[in-house]
């Protein structure tokens, strides 16, 4: 069970960190919104982890369970990036003034 949790945590954190780096590079090269760049970055890095990373332990090592394992990890990586993104003060900050 610890190997499964470690694999999942590695997938989530690795996809989030490398996805954020990839998203930053995308935003420097293209006029793309923050959320879209995070989505593309985490999707790309989740794919890299799925095909080049370590294989999760047995019941998640093949088939639909493998796909669900990686999709859940990618979704959590995107949520981690989105929830920790710095918010800019926009109209909500000016409304109180």
Nearest to 23 by CA among 51, 45, 8: 45
Q: What does the alpha-carbon distance between residue 35 and residue 96 come to, in Å, rounded to a whole number?
A: 26
Query: What mean pLDDT is predicted for residues 70-76?
Result: 93
Task: Report pLDDT for 79.
Answer: 94
CB 11 within 8 Å of CB 53: yes
Q: What does the alpha-carbon distance between residue 47 and residue 90 come to, in Å, rounded to a whole number?
A: 34
Query: What mean pLDDT is predicted for residues 60-73?
Result: 87
Q: ∠ CA 3-75-91 to the nearest 5 degrees?
A: 140
Query: What mean pLDDT is predicted for residues 46-72?
Result: 84
Residue 86 DSSP symbol: P
Task: Report pLDDT for 90.
Answer: 57
Task: Report pLDDT for 43.
Answer: 94
pLDDT-based confidence at residue 20 (cuts at 50, 70, 90): very high
Task: Report pLDDT for 28.
Answer: 96
Q: pTM of this prediction? A: 0.80
Task: Report pLDDT for 32.
Answer: 93
CB 52 within 8 Å of CB 70: no
What average pLDDT is seen over the chain? 85
- Using DSSP's 3-state secondary structure scheme, residue 97 falls into coil
pLDDT-based confidence at residue 23 (cuts at 50, 70, 90): very high
């Amino acid at each position: 069970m610890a190997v499964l949790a470690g694999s999942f945590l590695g997938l989530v954190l690795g996809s989030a960190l490398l996805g954020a780096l990839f998203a930053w590079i995308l935003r420097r090269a293209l006029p793309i919104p923050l959320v879209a760049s995070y989505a593309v970055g985490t999707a790309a890095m989740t794919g890299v982890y799925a095909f080049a990373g370590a294989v999760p332990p047995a019941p998640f090592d093949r088939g639909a369970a493998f796909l669900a394992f990686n999709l859940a990890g990618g979704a959590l990586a995107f949520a981690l990036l989105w929830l920790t993104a710095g918010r800019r003060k926009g109209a909500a900050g000016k409304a109180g003034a």
